[in-house]
Structure formats: C-alpha cells, structure tokens
Chain A
C-alpha cells in the first residue's frame, strides 16, 4: 500500500512538472514568415490614455500609426510635407499659410479641411499648457484648404514645431467619442480597436489617404523590460521590437533571421552641474577636474558596447551643429584633473582616499533614475572614476516623477537627463531650457545658477533669426561657451534601434523619436 502510494505520488509529480513545462512552451509555433493578416510590435509605453493633448501621450498616438501632423521630419530632420503639402510665409514674417493636402481623409471617411485642422490645433492649445511654450499665435484662420496661422513673434521654425506630435490633427467633427479610452479619429494608416496601457490592438484604416495599408491587424503589446522584449522577439512572440538593449543587440546579428535598423538619435545624455554659491562644484577648477576624470570614450565603447556615441558637446553629432569643430577643454585627462583639484586647495590629508579641505571631504550628490538602462550605468561609472581622483559621489536613485521637481528646486550637485535635443527640428529650445539665465523663473529647468551674458545675447539673436546659416553659427558659438564654462557632464548620445524579423521590410528607425509603426512597414513579398 505504501509503495503504491509512493509510485502514484511520483507519477503525479511528473505529471505536474510536465504540465508546468508545457505551460512554459506556451504554443510557441515559430512563424518565420509574416503575413499581411497580423503584425506584432513590442514597445515601451508610458501613455495612460490616447488623448494627444494630455501629457506627452501624443507621442504614443503617433508611434502606433494612428495620428499624423501637418509636417513630418525626414531622416535629416528637415521639415517635409505630410498632411500639409506646401506652405509659405508672408513678408512680415508673422503669417504662415499651410495648404492642406486635398486627398487626406480620416479613418471614418471625413475629408480633412483647413477648418478641422484649425479646430484641432485650437483644441490642443486649449487643453495643453505645453503648446504655449512651443509657439504663440494671435490668430488661426481657415480659408478652403488653406490654414493661415499668425504668430505673435517671428517664429522661424514654425513648420518644425508643427511636426511635434503634440499638434496631431484629429477629427473635431466627431463629438460623441471618448478620446481618452477609444483614441481620437485620425488620419494615420491604423485605427484603434482597443487600447490599454498594456496592449493596443489596431486595425487597418479603410480610408487611408496615402496608399494601401500593409497589415489588416496590428497588435502592440507593452513590454517595458528590455530583456523581456529581446526574448519575446527571439521566441517569435512579436515580429519587431523597439530599442533592444545594448547587451542584447548581438543576439540578433544573424542577417538571415533579423534586420537591425540603428541610427544615432537626437538625444543627449547629460548631467547638469549645480554651480550655485556654496555648492562644491561652484569652483570652476573642481568642475573641470570632475569632467576631465571621466573616461567617456570607454563608457560608451566598452560598457555600453558601442550603442552610444561618446559625449562631448550639448548637441549630438547626428545634428549638424558643428560637433567636430567644437573644442572640449575638458577631454579625458585624469592626471590633470588631480592637479586641478590640488590647485583648488583639495588634498587628501587624512588618508581616507578622498580629498578634503577644512576638514570636509569633497562629496557630491548625483541624482538619477533607472527607467532607462544606461543612466545608472553612467552614474556608477562616474562614481568609480571620480573616486580615482578623490571625489566622493553619492548616488541618489529617485523615481522619475520626483526627479523633475528636484531639478527645478536645485536639490542636487549632478542631475541626469536623457533629452531629445531637437523636438522642433533644431536645438534652440533645448539650449535655452537648460542654460539660459533663469530670471525669476523664466527658465525653470535651469536651477544650476549658471548665467552667462554672452550666451544670453546669442540666444536673443537666435530667437528672431530666419537665416539657417546664421542660426547654425549662433548655436555653435553658444555650445562653445557652454563647453568652456564646464556646465555639464555630456556623457553620450544614444543610438536607437528597431529590430525586426527578416520577414518584414522597411522596419526602420528615424532620428525623430515618434515614427515607429509607419505605413511603409510591410511583409516581405
């Protein structure tokens, strides 16, 4: 009896294990080929709902192939026609006329008129306070297919600004729709079937204006963990994925099975330096020493396996703003860094490995978040390299929602940032944000105490300059001032990627961070 019991127990155990194992397998019928029935796209997603005027959720509306703007950026970030097929500016530099493409229809069959475009833009300005900080208009008029925008001040890069997903055009004739839950009616190749933060199900837009839509259905599961995303692609649960992590990219090197589309993004990873009076990094020599002790080439080439370009200047080399001609006075030089510290009066007198002055160690707080895999790595590398010259770096890992208030209140010595430098087509807004003098809260992102009259003067000239060559020259000079003043640690510039099964074509990544599921992504053959 006892034996029988044992045997049956063992059999049950094996049964349970077998069941568990089959559960793990999870119907992994590996389909190498992709048909036009369905495509599955693994993404990261931060959007609670699909209202383009809410938060930064418009990015997701565009990434999922739903929304489109009047203007689109090409591979080199030039503003090119999209829903508007041409535009012009009046002689007084204040009135822009955008001609809406006659062919454009919404997914419900409505024709896009200038009137709808006007109402859509006005809705955005009404609901999003961010719109005001991009540009300010005095009047928007509709005249047939012509959309006329009068700006308050000369706004040289208005077409680029209208390419920001914030200004996605939605069908304002539709009133009885819960935009947050069901998504807006837009003009993109796909329309929403169901949406939740965890998964979006899209269907082909039957009225798409710009050619046939390649897939009847698209499923977009959110897989925020980069390793899980890579494994889902390896297993064939998804057909393509955004941003495979540095370490995992080599898993997809087999060209017969996968395509890797990789591009230098428009992002910069940097740490702002707090140089207010009384802060340890107030002394320019200490700042220079800190920047010089960081071996940024190794961080990017070795630690991040060449998926980042080594940092030097505020604007990444993917944008043509003089990256190669800029001179970094604080290139890697640990010996000189030690000398600078000594000149500034910091010496290790008590033999604890850290330099001190007046009995206090040189300690700085590095505030960062770990939502992006490279940020903790840069922070830890900084800590390790700074220790070699005797600076003690304390790591403060905080939630992303806490980070921005800390930035604005100046509660940091170093604070990390991974920022899109050319949201509107060029880096003007970004340079002002972080380094233009903050006079009574005019630049809330700059609480570092940095203020340079020459920089501000150039910024003011830039704001009203229409000539692209001059604009470029101003921005190069502004960057050189920042480098000479040692205002930040420019760690590196990420490359972004999209990895797809070989059964897909045109799964390409663009420098602008919001063209993901495009009309061009199609099954092979």
Chain B
C-alpha cells in the first residue's frame, strides 16, 4: 500500500492513469444519475435516429437511447471484467501456490490438468463452455475463468518454487511453522505483487474476450446494455446506422487503453526489481 501511495506521488503517468480508472468506475457507478434515458425503454417510433442533441449517440433498432446504453454498458462490462479478473486471479493463484508448495502428486495432478486446458484453443473452448451452459454474463465469466486460470497457476507455481528455497522459508520450516502459516506469512506476500501486476495488465485483454463472447451471443443477453452485445446488434446496420457500432466500439477501445496503460504503470510502481535500484 505504501509503495502505491509513493508511486502515486512520484510517478506522474501512474497518477494520471489511476485517475482515469477512477473516472471510469465513477461513470459506471453514476450511470443512473448521468443517463438522460432509461437504457431499456424502447420508443420504437424513434428507431435509428442519428446522433443529435437529444440523443447524443443516436438511437438503436428499438429506439433506445444509445448514450444511456453506453453509460449503463460500463456497469455491465466493468463489473463483468473485474469479477472475471478476480476469479481468474483467485483460482489461478491458489492452484499455483498449492502445486508449487506441496509438489509431488498434487503438483502433477494440477499441472497436467492445466496442460490439458492449455492444449485447447482458449476462445473456442470458452465458446463451447458458454454455449453448453447457455448465454449469460455470469456463464461467460465462468467460461473465461475456466480457460484463463492456467496462466496464473503456472506463474504462481514457478515463483513459489523460487521462494521456497530461500533461507527464511527453510528457517520457518525448521522452526516448526505449519504449512498454512508459511504459505500465508512467508510465501504469499512475496509473490503477490507480481501476480497483481499480471492481473492488472490482463484486464484489457480479458475485457476484449468478454465483449467477444457477448458479441457472439454467448455473454449478455438482450435487452441488457453491454458493449459487446451492442456491437453485435449494430453490425446489421453497419452501413446505414454506423453510430450503433462506433460508440460502443469507442467505449471498449478507450476502456481497454486506459486499463492497459494503468497496468503498465502499476508494474513500474510495484515491480520488486525496482526496489533494488533504490
């Protein structure tokens, strides 16, 4: 936490991108206050209106206000992606730590299972899983968790293996420390910064995958305002009502860029290797 505050003070890029991330979150939270219209209210006589002062981003195929839908979409997309990152992070790190620390059969089982998952093309497996479970945002998050956790498991495992041979861990073992205690106090804190950095840098990529699943119809279902889904709905009017694709697309683009930059800067701030220089 201290490093974060320090980074905020000294690293300007980190400060700026952090503010932008907060701004995004604020927009998502304040969507009901900022939005001029109910995002699901259909005024069908006003379908396909071009962007104007009343409808900043135009209206969609059912006459719903696109601006309000993009704002509300931030809620669905951000909540979805944050939950996804959190679950991938939790599942992956836990598996990796267990596998690395206990070794032996536990290691073999977990790692061979993860090899199995890796040998499938990720997105296609996710589509299959989401397809079987039925389309919904929750199922899309579960499907992507199932295909993405392996990366974190491998990373966590390799770092645990490194940390495990350090003297202080050996000392803790000699002193009769229990496994949960050693894991919690000596190992986890040492691998956590690297894991957090990886997770933060992944937010953008996972957001694209989540939007991709929604675009293909395996994520959010109509009439929910979600950016990937909105892109798919706008696709049919690409030539006649391009604003239906431009604005949700822009929203995804901006959000992904902000999260990627933030993730990069977070790495600069948190990376333990930076400590050596000080």
Residues on A close to B: CB < 8 A? 226-227, 230-231, 245, 247-248, 250-251, 295, 298-299, 302-303, 370, 373, 376-377, 380-381, 383-385, 387, 395, 397
* Residue of B whose beta carbon sits closest to that of A399: B131
Chain B residues 201 to 240 lying within 8 A of chain A, measured CB to CB, are 217, 221-223, 235-240
* Residue of A whose beta carbon sits closest to that of B131: A399
Find out whether the CB atom of A370 lies under 8 angstroms from the CB atom of B217.
Answer: yes
Q: Is the interface of A mostly helix, strand, loop or mixed?
A: helix
Chain B residues 38 to 52 lying within 8 A of chain A, measured CB to CB, are 40-42, 44-45, 47-48
Given known A-B contacts A227-B238, A298-B45, A397 and B221 have beta carbons under 8 A apart = yes
Find out whether the CB atom of A381 lies under 8 angstroms from the CB atom of B221.
Answer: no
Find out whether the CB atom of A395 lies under 8 angstroms from the CB atom of B40.
Answer: no
B241 at the interface (CB under 8 A from A): yes
- A387 CA / B44 CA spacing, docked (Å): 13
Which residues of B are found within 8 Å of A299, using beta-carbon distances?
44
Which residues of B are found within 8 Å of A303, using beta-carbon distances?
44, 47, 61-62
B58 at the interface (CB under 8 A from A): no
* Residue of B whose beta carbon sits closest to that of A394: B221
B92 at the interface (CB under 8 A from A): no
Given known A-B contacts A227-B235, A397-B135, A376 and B222 have beta carbons under 8 A apart = yes
- A52 CA / B62 CA spacing, docked (Å): 41
CB < 8 Å: which of B45, B217, B240 contacts A397?
B217
Q: 9 closest A-B pairs (Cβ-Cβ)?
A: A384-B42, A298-B44, A247-B240, A247-B237, A302-B47, A380-B222, A303-B47, A298-B45, A384-B62
Given known A-B contacts A380-B223, A381-B62, A302 and B237 have beta carbons under 8 A apart = no
Given known A-B contacts A380-B222, A381-B42, A248 and B62 have beta carbons under 8 A apart = no
CB < 8 Å: which of A247, A251, A384, A397 contacts B241?
A247
Which residues of A are found within 8 Å of B63, using beta-carbon distances?
302
Which residues of B are found within 8 Å of A370, using beta-carbon distances?
217
Of the A-B pairs whose beta carbons lie under 8 Å apart in the complex, a sample of 27, sorted by A's number, is A226-B236, A227-B236, A227-B239, A230-B239, A231-B239, A250-B240, A251-B239, A295-B44, A298-B45, A302-B44, A302-B47, A302-B48, A302-B63, A303-B44, A303-B61, A303-B62, A370-B217, A377-B61, A377-B62, A380-B62, A380-B223, A383-B222, A384-B44, A387-B40, A397-B135, A397-B217, A397-B221
- A383 CA / B62 CA spacing, docked (Å): 11
CB < 8 Å: which of B41, B44, B238, B239 contacts A381?
B44
CB < 8 Å: which of B222, B236, B241 contacts A373?
B236
Which residues of A are found within 8 Å of B135, using beta-carbon distances?
397
Q: How far is the CB of B77 from chain A (nearest CB, A)?
A: 20
- A251 CA / B237 CA spacing, docked (Å): 11
Q: How far is the CB of A169 from chain B (nearest CB, A)?
A: 40
Q: How far is the CB of A31 from chain B (nearest CB, A)?
A: 22
Interface size on B, residues (CB 8 A): 22
Which residues of B are found within 8 Å of A383, using beta-carbon distances?
222-223
Q: How far is the CB of B38 from chain A (nearest CB, A)?
A: 10
* Residue of B whose beta carbon sits closest to that of A245: B236
Q: How far is the CB of A523 from chain B (nearest CB, A)?
A: 28
Name the residue among B47, B63, B221, B238 with the largest chain A CB count within 10 angstroms. Answer: B47
CB < 8 Å: which of B41, B222, B239 contacts A395?
B222
* Residue of A whose beta carbon sits closest to that of B237: A247
- A302 CA / B60 CA spacing, docked (Å): 12
Which residues of A are found within 8 Å of B48, using beta-carbon distances?
302
Q: How far is the CB of A241 from chain B (nearest CB, A)?
A: 14
Which residues of A are found within 8 Å of B237, using beta-carbon distances?
247
- A376 CA / B61 CA spacing, docked (Å): 11
Q: How far is the CB of A323 from chain B (nearest CB, A)?
A: 24
Which residues of B are found within 8 Å of A251, using beta-carbon distances?
239-240
Find out whether the CB atom of B240 lies under 8 angstroms from the CB atom of A248.
Answer: yes
Which residues of B are found within 8 Å of A295, using beta-carbon distances?
44
Find out whether the CB atom of B240 lies under 8 angstroms from the CB atom of A302.
Answer: no
Q: How far is the CB of A234 from chain B (nearest CB, A)?
A: 9
Extra contacts besides A247-B236, A298-B45 (11): CB < 8 Å = A251-B239, A302-B47, A302-B48, A303-B61, A373-B236, A380-B222, A383-B223, A385-B42, A395-B221, A397-B217, A397-B221
- A270 CA / B197 CA spacing, docked (Å): 53
- A370 CA / B41 CA spacing, docked (Å): 22
Chain B residues 63 to 114 lying within 8 A of chain A, measured CB to CB, are 63
Q: How far is the CB of B158 from chain A (nearest CB, A)?
A: 33
- A397 CA / B222 CA spacing, docked (Å): 10
- A267 CA / B243 CA spacing, docked (Å): 32
- A166 CA / B240 CA spacing, docked (Å): 39
- A399 CA / B168 CA spacing, docked (Å): 59
Which residues of B are found within 8 Å of A248, using beta-carbon distances?
239-240
- A111 CA / B217 CA spacing, docked (Å): 52
Which residues of B are found within 8 Å of A302, using beta-carbon distances?
44-45, 47-48, 63
Which residues of B are found within 8 Å of A384, using beta-carbon distances?
40-42, 44, 62, 223
Which residues of B are found within 8 Å of A395, using beta-carbon distances?
221-222
- A353 CA / B40 CA spacing, docked (Å): 13
* Residue of A whose beta carbon sits closest to that of B46: A302
- A295 CA / B237 CA spacing, docked (Å): 22
Q: How far is the CB of B257 from chain A (nearest CB, A)?
A: 21
- A250 CA / B237 CA spacing, docked (Å): 11
* Residue of B whose beta carbon sits closest to that of A377: B61
- A376 CA / B217 CA spacing, docked (Å): 12
- A523 CA / B78 CA spacing, docked (Å): 55
Q: How far is the CB of B141 from chain A (nearest CB, A)?
A: 19
Q: How far is the CB of A377 from chain B (nearest CB, A)?
A: 6
Which residues of A are found within 8 Å of B240, using beta-carbon distances?
247-248, 250-251
Which residues of B are found within 8 Å of A247, using beta-carbon distances?
236-237, 239-241
Q: How far is the CB of A10 from chain B (nearest CB, A)?
A: 23
- A429 CA / B239 CA spacing, docked (Å): 40
Q: How far is the CB of B65 from chain A (nearest CB, A)?
A: 13
- A227 CA / B135 CA spacing, docked (Å): 24
Q: How far is the CB of A295 from chain B (nearest CB, A)?
A: 6
Q: How far is the CB of A272 from chain B (nearest CB, A)?
A: 21
- A380 CA / B223 CA spacing, docked (Å): 7
Which residues of B are found within 8 Å of A373, using beta-carbon distances?
236
- A153 CA / B34 CA spacing, docked (Å): 70
Q: How far is the CB of B30 from chain A (nearest CB, A)?
A: 22
- A393 CA / B235 CA spacing, docked (Å): 25
- A397 CA / B214 CA spacing, docked (Å): 14
- A231 CA / B240 CA spacing, docked (Å): 12
Q: How far is the CB of A370 from chain B (nearest CB, A)?
A: 7
Which residues of B are found within 8 Å of A227, using beta-carbon distances?
235-236, 238-239
